[in-house]
Amino acid sequence: MSENAIIYDDYFYNLKAVKTHNIAKNVNKSLLNDKGVSIGKFTQKVKGKNPTWRDPKTKWTISKNKGQSHGGSYWKLINNKGKRIASLTKEGKILRE
């Protein structure tokens, strides 16, 4: 691998890290752990919305992506006002807005 390719890869790795860090700033702090969002906190099943789970304390929800998973995305994180905040892996790692 050339030096330019390594610099290019490092640049995009760092850019992605900055973006996910900025997204995490918009997530309720009580939902975060060292790996991203703590999926285990979403314990209330939301009736009529399949499959959607709510954190009883913050009222934030996660909803399973429907259709084809895209780029590792498994969950959508939605705040208590109904705005989508992030896409998450199955384990809760923040991928993108």
pLDDT for 90 equals 93
Length reported for the chain = 97
| pLDDT digits 0-9 by tens, 29-84 | 999 998 899 999 999 999 887 789 999 999 999 999 886 666 778 999 999 999 99
Using a cut of 0.85, tell me whether the model's pTM lies above it: no
The CA-atom distances, in angstroms, between 78 and each of 4, 8, 48, 56, 81 are 39, 33, 16, 13, 8
Where do the domains of the chain lie? 3-96
